[in-house]
Amino acid sequence: MPLELETVAPEDLAFHASLAEMLEAIRSREQWSERMAEVLEYAYCERLLKLVRTGAPLEQLRELNEHLAHVVHPRRRAQLDSLGKPYFARWSMLRALLEMRIESLRSEVPSQVLNRKHVREILERVQREGEVTQQFIGETFALEKANLSRILALMEANELIDKVARGNGNTIVLGVRGRELMPPKETAVPRAPAPVKHARRGASYLNPEAADGTFH
């Protein structure tokens, strides 16, 4: 039986009901009421605050964002805009905040990955060399094959490195996030040598423009 949004306690909706139950209750209603919108807004704000405050994983943020995408749908705009508060605009703003947080988390590399032994050193070495083999990394840092495979798999999953096919094997290069964390070091650009002027045949050694050998 769907939740009854007209009578449910706001706290129950915010902290106990699942998003699936809430969406089912919304879909079962043809008309929106002020009370229904108020309890939903309370639940959405409390859930978002809890997710941000507790550092919830990306998947939970995406679930709430997808739920709001179903609720804040153009076909519901007229009904929501007819209520006492601009719920459509307010919930659209919640979605925008969620999407900003999701994008921020998606682009961050967890600190526990970067702080794992050898990860930063491997990044620095790959940056310096441009590309290296897995064997080279293992020998450089004296890593056993199993441990090396685990570290590289973790780095690849977090887009710190990529594996590129070269001949019969793979070489390791910086991944998208690796390039963001380890931008290429600037190198001095050598100056081009000054052009050498060659005297034309018959020109004076002291004055190449003179062809008769006289001084000016």
CA atoms within 13 A on the CB side of 92: 11
134: left (phi over 0), alpha (psi -120 to 50) or beta: alpha
pLDDT tens column, 47-63: 999 988 887 777 889 99
Mean of the pLDDT values across residues 177-186?
A: 74
Phi, psi of 4 (to 5 degrees): -100, 100
pLDDT in tens, 96-110: 999 988 887 777 677
Question: What pTM was estimated for this model as a whole?
Answer: 0.54
Nearest Cα residue to 173 out of 153, 151, 156, 149: 156
Give the 3-state secondary structure of residue 171: strand
pLDDT at 186 exceeding the cut of 60: no
Cα–Cα distance for residue pair 170/79, rounded to 1 Å: 57
Instruction: Please determine, for residue 179, whether its predicted confidence score (pLDDT) is greater than 70.
Output: yes
